[in-house]
Amino acid sequence: MSPASKNNFPQDWQPTASIKNLHKRAQMLKHIREFFAARDVLEVETPLLCQTSVTDPHIASIKVQRQYLQTSPEYAMKRLLAAGSGAIYQICKAFRQDEAGRLHNAEFTMLEWYRPGFDHHQLMDEMDALFQHLLEMPAAERKTYAAIFHEHLALDPHTADLAELAACAKAHNINVQMDVTERDTWLQLLMSECIEAKLGLTRPCFIYDFPISQAALARIQNTTPPTAARFEVYFQGIELANGFHELQDAKEQRKRFENNNIERQRLGLPTIPIDEYFLAALQHGLPDCAGVALGLDRLIMLAANCQNIAEVISFTF
Q: What is the 3-state secondary structure (H, E, C) of the chain?
A: CCHHHHCCCCCCCCCCCCHHHHHHHHHHHHHHHHHHHHCCCEECCCCCEECCCCCCCCCCCEEECCEEECCCCHHHHHHHHHCCCCCEEEEEEEECCCCCECCECCEEEEEEEEEECCCHHHHHHHHHHHHHHHHCCCCCEEEEHHHHHHHHHCCCCCCCCHHHHHHHHHHCCCCCCCCCCCHHHHHHHHHHHHHHHHCCCCCCEEEEEEEHHHCCCECEECCCCCEEEEEEEEECCEEEEEEEEECCCHHHHHHHHHHHHHHHHHCCCCCCCCCHHHHHHHHHHCCCEEEEEEEHHHHHHHHCCCCCHHHHCCCCC
Tens-digit pLDDT profile for residues 192-241: 999 999 999 999 999 999 999 999 999 999 999 999 999 999 999 999 99
Identify the pLDDT of residue 6: 62
Does residue 267 form part of some domain? Answer: yes
Does residue 8 form part of some domain? Answer: no
Question: Whose CA is closest to 106, among 77, 76, 75, 71?
Answer: 71
Q: Which parts of the chain have pLDDT scores under 50?
A: 1-2, 4
Does residue 226 form part of some domain? Answer: no
Does residue 59 form part of some domain? Answer: yes
Identify the pLDDT of residue 11: 83
Does residue 228 form part of some domain? Answer: no
CA–CA separation, 46 and 75 (whole Å):
10
Does residue 159 form part of some domain? Answer: no
Does residue 293 form part of some domain? Answer: yes
Does residue 188 form part of some domain? Answer: no
Range of the structural domain that residue 261 is part of? 13-139+241-312
Identify the pLDDT of residue 1: 47
pTM for the model = 0.93
Identify the pLDDT of residue 134: 94
- Upstream peptide bond of 73 is cis (omega within 30 degrees of 0): no
Residue 87 belongs to domain with CATH number: 3.30.930.10
Q: Domains in the chain: how many in total? A: 1
Which CA distances in Å does 220 have to 82, 124, 213, 225, 270? 20, 18, 10, 11, 28
